Amino acid sequence: MKHYDYVVMHLSAITIQFKGAPDEVLKALVKKGFAKTKAEAVRFALLHLGEEYGLITRRLHAKAEAYAYAEIKGT
């Protein structure tokens, strides 16, 4: 029997309106290719913030990013 790492994902949806500097940063992240969409940029920012505050480890962060990329690519 093989053992696998399972990640339980709970999906949440929120609506946020951005104005001024935050909106410009989001636009720049997409324009420069750091993220495909503003939503993706926000997700990455939250992961990095969680890492900075010690809420998630780099290993968990990498797993979350890999999962996000797989979802985006549809694999």
The model's confidence at residue 18, banded by pLDDT at 50, 70 and 90, is very high
Distance CA 24, CA 57 (A): 29
Over range 23-39, report the average pLDDT.
Answer: 95
Give the least confident one: 2-11, 14-23, 29-38, 50-59: 2-11
Do residues 71 and 13 lie in contact, with contact meaning Cβ atoms separated by under 8 Å?
A: no
Domains of the chain: which residue ranges?
A: 20-73
Q: For residue range 33-75, list pLDDT tens digits in order.
A: 999 999 999 998 998 898 899 887 776 666 777 777 676 666 5
Dihedral sign for Cα atoms in the order 36, 38, 42, 43: negative
pLDDT at 30: 95
Using a CB cutoff of 8 Å and minimum separation of 24, what contacts does 43-52 make?
43/68
> CA torsion, points 22, 19, 10, 58, in degrees to nearest 10?
0
